[in-house]
């Protein structure tokens, strides 16, 4: 389908597609098996200038936005959802700086991020603060020229590998969500260490790790926006990044479907390729249709996010919700097309199903996305009265 991409967007897509096919696909299973961070893949993406696709030209990027980010993420995810998220999570960690950073912070960090010299992570979640992020316990106490951070962040993508983190911590616990603030914390800051590295069901090339802050002194210049803005920084970041998770979901689903169509042509039962059975054909047709619908919603949501519209949370959540549910259904059905072989690790399809599941969970579970959508629907309805 023609999504009326610009010449530059087509170029970015083709470049990402080439890297996905030539470099990522042949090594996806190996990275998954070893649970190893794919630094050589990150270097290939940096060399192709793809880390800068969503960063303004004046800060060293190529001047695109969330759509360009989605296009690259989708292509990489077709080959490996795990390697793709190492790339996409760096954008998640960078959006707080793009959206709320001051010029000094942008000049200091964005060119390095755009060039792929530094990758980033975003740290909001804690052991007892998942969907209810306002329950976070990590504190940032102001002391002279510094903030002193104490606490532990859990399940941070790119944890231990990224060189720069945007971290949400409480500067005033009494104020609840309004007492949270956002900080830029560099990897080698004294008092900042890494805890447990998780072993996961899917996206196993990506690192998911604890960040531990023990009297970690962060210069006051690293506060993003103002004290008390942490929650808003996080929520606006999600508005920009959720279409990226949705694009990851579209890519994983497309990658799985491509394999399933090939397999269905080659697998013979009852003397015929299984692709000749209507039962299989209908599954393939439904999957292709669902993926196309998800892609259309994702691209539309990306355009809406960059349109300057005041409120984009509903559309961003819709894209994430729909695409990730499609991804889970499609990858499960693709395993079905492979039959028993689909269940075996000798075949690449089971990995797609494992990688799919996380898209329904992170950056807000799909229950939370439905909450966001319903909340906005009700608000809009009240506003009409
Ligand atoms: C692999 C991985 C990578 C991650 N990367 C990052 C990262 O880089 N940075 C970061 O900050 N976080 C990250 N996370 C955390 C992720 O965003 C959270 O796991 C997610 O927000 C859900 O929180 P939780 O796991 O604590 O689930 P919980 O909040 O405990 O939810 C458990 C269940 O209850 C449901 N539920 C909770 N509240 C409600 C409600 N109000 N209404 C209806 N249902 C509800 C949920 O939908 C879910 O089904 C990552 C998680 C994983 C697994």
CA of 207 to the centre of ligand 1 (A): 17
Percent of the chain with pLDDT over 90: 98
Name, in order, each residue with C-beta under 8 angstroms of 362's C-beta and a sequence gap of 6 or more.
157, 245
Per the prediction, the chain carries an average pLDDT of 97
pTM higher than 0.85: yes
Q: What average pLDDT does the segment 112-140 reach?
A: 97
Residue nearest to atom 16 of ligand 1 (CA): 362
Which residue has the least CA distance to atom 48 on ligand 1? 365
pLDDT of 28 above 90: yes
Q: Quick one: average pLDDT of 381-385?
A: 90
Which residues does a 6 A CB cutoff place in the pocket of ligand 1? 89, 121-125, 130-131, 155-157, 200, 208, 358, 361-365, 367-368, 371
Residue-wise pLDDT tens digits, 205-259: 999 999 999 999 999 999 999 999 999 999 999 999 999 999 999 999 999 999 9
Model confidence band, residue 135 (pLDDT cutoffs 50, 70, 90) = very high
Atom of ligand 1 nearest to the CA of 364: 21
pLDDT exceeds 90 at position 15? yes
Q: What angle do CA 108, 114, 120 make, to 5 degrees?
A: 75
Judge contact between 205 and 37, C-beta under 8 A. Answer: yes
Q: Which residues are designated catalytic?
A: 363
| pLDDT category of residue 385 using cuts at 50, 70 and 90 | confident
72, pLDDT greater than 90: yes
Cα separation, 120 vs 156, in Å, equals: 10
Going from the Cα of 8 to the center of ligand 1, the distance in angstroms, rounded, reads 36
Phi, psi of 171 (to 5 degrees): -95, -20
Q: Which atom of ligand 1 is nearest to the CA of 158?
A: 8
| Mean pLDDT to the nearest integer, 255-281 | 98
132 alpha carbon to ligand 1 midpoint, in Å? 8
Distance 305 CA to ligand 1 centre (A): 23
> Which of 362, 364, 366, 374, when mutated, tests ligand 1's pocket best, judged by the most ligand atoms within 8 Å of its CB?
362
| Confidence band of 136 (pLDDT split at 50, 70, 90) | very high
- Report the pLDDT averaged over residues 71-82: 98
Distance of CA 223 from the midpoint of ligand 1 (Å): 25
Question: Using CA positions, which residue lies closest to atom 21 of ligand 1?
Answer: 364
Atom 29 in ligand 1: residue holding the nearest Cα:
131
Number of the ligand 1 atom closest to the C-alpha atom of 121: 8
Nearest atom within ligand 1 for CA of residue 367:
47
**How far is the C-alpha of 356 from the C-alpha of 335, rounded, in Å?**
12
The 10s digit of each residue's pLDDT in 141-192 is 999 999 999 999 999 999 999 999 999 999 999 998 899 999 999 999 999 9
pLDDT of residue 277: 98
pLDDT at 344: 98
């Amino acid at each position: 389908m023609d999504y009326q991409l610009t010449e530059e967007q087509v170029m970015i897509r083709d470049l990402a597609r080439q890297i996905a096919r030539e470099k990522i696909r042949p090594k996806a299973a190996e990275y998954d098996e070893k649970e190893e961070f794919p630094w050589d893949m990150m270097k290939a993406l940096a060399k192709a200038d793809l880390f800068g696709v969503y960063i303004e030209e004046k800060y060293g990027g190529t001047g695109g936005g969330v759509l360009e980010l989605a296009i690259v993420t989708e292509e990489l995810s077709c080959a490996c959802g795990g390697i793709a998220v190492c790339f996409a999570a760096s954008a998640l960690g960078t959006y707080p700086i793009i959206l709320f950073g001051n010029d000094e912070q942008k000049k200091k960090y964005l060119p390095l991020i755009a060039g792929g010299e530094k990758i980033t992570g975003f740290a909001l979640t804690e052991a007892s603060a998942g969907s209810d992020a306002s329950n976070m316990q990590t504190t940032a106490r102001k002391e002279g020229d510094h903030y002193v951070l104490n606490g532990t962040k859990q399940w941070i993508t790119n944890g231990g590998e990224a060189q720069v983190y945007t971290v949400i911590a409480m500067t005033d616990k009494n104020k609840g969500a309004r007492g949270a603030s956002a900080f830029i914390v560099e990897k080698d800051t004294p008092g900042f260490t890494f805890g447990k590295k998780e072993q996961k069901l899917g996206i196993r090339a990506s690192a998911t790790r604890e960040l531990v802050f023990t009297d970690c002194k962060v210069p006051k210049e690293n506060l993003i926006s103002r004290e008390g803005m942490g929650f808003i920084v996080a929520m606006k970041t999600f508005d920009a990044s959720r279409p990226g998770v949705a694009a990851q979901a579209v890519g994983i689903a497309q990658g799985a479907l491509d394999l399933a169509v090939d397999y269905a042509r080659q697998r013979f039962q009852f003397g015929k390729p299984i692709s000749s059975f209507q039962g299989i054909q209908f599954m393939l047709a439904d999957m292709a249709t669902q993926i196309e619908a998800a892609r259309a919603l994702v691209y539309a949501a990306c355009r809406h996010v960059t349109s300057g519209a005041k409120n984009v949370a509903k559309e961003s959540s819709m894209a994430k919700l729909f695409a990730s549910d499609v991804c889970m259904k499609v990858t499960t059905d693709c395993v079905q097309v492979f039959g028993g072989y689909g269940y075996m690790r000798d075949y690449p399809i089971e990995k797609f199903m494992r990688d799919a599941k996380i898209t329904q969970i992170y950056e807000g579970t799909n229950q939370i996305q439905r909450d966001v959508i319903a909340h906005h629907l009700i608000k809009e309805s009240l506003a009409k009265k």
